[in-house]
Amino acid sequence: MNQNPNQQNQDIYNIACLGSGYTAGLTMIMMAFHCDVVITMLDVDNEDIDDWEAGIIPFDEPNFEHMFDQVRNVRLMFGQSNNIAAALNTADFIVIAVDNPIQRIKKKNTLNLTKWKDSWEQVAMHAPDKLNPTVVYNPEFYSLGTAFNDLQNPRQVIFGGDAQILNGPLFHNVRKLMYWVDQNAVFRYHDIKSVVLAKLGINGLLASKLSILNSIASISAAVEADMNTIMEIMGRDQRLGPTYLTPGIGFGGPSLERDTRLLCHVAQNKGLLKEEQIYTKVLENNEAAEKRFVNMVVDKMNGTTNKTIAIFGLASKHGISDLTNSPAIQVCKLLLDHDVYLRIYDLYVPNAHILGNFRRGVQERVVVATSPVQAATNASAICLLTDCDAYQHGGIQFYNQLFAVMTQPSYIFNGRQNSGINWQDVANIGFSIHAVGRPSRGLGFE
């Protein structure tokens, strides 16, 4: 653990955090590691707190384990529902970090603020003196799989709130706690609405970029162009940049879809029909990318008697265990509608977390495998649904092993463009390979 060089001038020693999910957990671990404070993470869901108390980080995010081991029960404490009142009452500083899910109900994007309202009620009940006027909004800008570096070396840390607060002693005390963050990365704005909309706008633009790119990939396949060449040329344009420029089966994760739906929700509530339609179309295009991939699989396997498919990767992103809004899950559900059998393997997702994503009526056609070879055994096809190095960068020996245990003909359907393998060499083994953004021409590399 680190020692805060500003400790002698420190005025905040006890922090209470309402929420124990991804954002709350990672942020509090990082703060506890760097700051000489006692942080109590609180949640009305006692099962989540039980995991934290047992030393289990309830999600997979690289590089946080060593920090967590050092701060658990030293600087980072945990309180169940019966501890909330005392923790809030004694806190110098309160963080509310709960999820506000948005749902599609009767063709409308409806924001569920239940947890958010409950949190404010808890503060109002047990620590009313901390409510007014000291409220500051601090959006998170980190991504699944890269959160450690995003928190350790943030490009921007944004605070939105009243000018008197952000220029006053309380914020000064908060800034002293964040001593490891470069001064040039901290920005204060006196307009909370603009800060919130900027956060939503970033993810809305990223989602739009991916949505349009998947549409280009579909056109690329239709006209028999090379999507790798297209990405290379587009990535050199500084107005676009090389990131978020990879087509696939669609975007997922906890942020992009949620924030895009939030933009729809705001536009809808303000009567901005055309603006709502823009982001609704982005979401529809994302669903279309999933369906295009499934249609490709079903079309190419038409006439194949063996309907067993190995699924490599189920998480919303490679290198993590998070399944939130995972497009891979949606692809699997759509495939199951075609009476196929699935054998699912994901290197990072615990086996116990996989089967529950499918309704009971189809679970009998889903097998959770413990290795790629086990998943591929007696399967006629493999669907690569994440960019995991284990199979996107697997060597020829790896694919020889898979080919040996599969039935013939053997198909590979690549739903991701990030790949470090020479697929022509894999095709030479005997696979029929089909990929997003590439034309299909039967057996061999497309």
pLDDT for residue 7 is more than 60: no
Q: How confident is the model at residue 312 (pLDDT cuts 50, 70, 90)?
A: very high
Q: How confident is the model at residue 106 (pLDDT cuts 50, 70, 90)?
A: low
What tokens appear for 380 in the block? Answer: 């006629």
Phi, psi of 119, deg, nearest 5:
-65, -45
Distances (CA, A) of 68 to 26, 276, 335, 425: 9, 42, 39, 43
**Among 74-83, 122-131, 192-201, 432-441, the least confident range:** 432-441
Instruction: Compute the average pLDDT of residues 145-151.
Output: 90
CATH 3.40.50.720 domain position(s) in the chain: 7-190, 213-435
Instruction: Compute the average pLDDT of residues 12-27.
Output: 91
Q: How confident is the model at residue 187 (pLDDT cuts 50, 70, 90)?
A: very high
Distances (CA, A) of 165 to 7, 70, 403: 22, 33, 64
Find all residues with CB under 8 Å of 196, minimum gap 6, and list them: 137, 139, 160
Reported as a single tens digit per residue, the pLDDT across 349-371 is: 988 889 999 998 899 999 999 99
Q: How confident is the model at residue 117 (pLDDT cuts 50, 70, 90)?
A: confident
What was the pLDDT predicted at 440? 55
pLDDT for residue 122 is more than 90: no
> One-letter amino acid identity for 400?
N
- In angstroms, the CA 129 to CA 113 distance is 23
Instruction: Compute the average pLDDT of residues 15-24.
Output: 92
Reported as a single tens digit per residue, the pLDDT across 414-445 is: 998 655 677 888 889 999 999 887 765 444 44
Q: How confident is the model at residue 126 (pLDDT cuts 50, 70, 90)?
A: confident
What was the pLDDT predicted at 118? 86
pLDDT for residue 12 is more than 90: no
**Among 91-95, 277-281, 317-321, 428-432, the least confident range:** 317-321
Residue where the block lists tokens 């709350």: 24
| CATH for 7-190 (3.40.50.620, 3.90.650.10, 2.70.98.60, 3.40.50.720) | 3.40.50.720
Task: Report the run of H or E that residue 269 belongs to, with start and end.
Answer: helix 256-269
Find all residues with CB under 8 Å of 302, minimum gap 6, and list them: none
What was the pLDDT predicted at 105? 59
Beta bridge partners of 77: 40
Distances (CA, A) of 323 to 281, 286, 307: 23, 17, 25
pLDDT for residue 6 is more than 60: no
- DSSP characters for 281-335? HHHHHHHHHHHHHHHHHHHHTTT-S--EEEEE--SSSTT----TT-HHHHHHHHH
pLDDT for residue 5 is more than 50: yes
Strands 76-79 and 38-42: parallel
Instruction: Compute the average pLDDT of residues 283-308.
Output: 93
Q: Roughly how many angstroms between the first and final C-alpha of the chain, as a whole number?
A: 52
Reported as a single tens digit per residue, the pLDDT across 374-421 is: 999 999 999 999 887 666 566 788 999 999 999 999 999 999 865 567
Contact 203, 260 (CB under 8 A): yes
Contact 220, 289 (CB under 8 A): no
Q: Structure pTM?
A: 0.81
What was the pLDDT predicted at 239? 82
Instruction: Compute the average pLDDT of residues 214-229.
Output: 86
Contact 364, 288 (CB under 8 A): no
Class of domain 213-435: alpha beta
Burial of residue 433 (CB within 10 Å: 0-12, 13-18, 19+) is buried
Most confident of 47-56, 78-87, 258-267, 335-344: 335-344
- DSSP characters for 344-374? EE-SSS-GGGTGGGS-HHHHTTEEE-SSHHH
Burial of residue 434 (CB within 10 Å: 0-12, 13-18, 19+) is buried
What tokens appear for 263 in the block? Answer: 């933009």
What average pLDDT does the chain have?
87
Instruction: Compute the average pLDDT of residues 133-161.
Output: 87
Cite the DSSP H helix spans in 19-168: 22-34, 46-53, 65-71, 84-90, 114-126, 147-152, 163-166
- pLDDT > 90 in the chain, percent: 45
Gyration radius of the chain's alpha carbons: 24
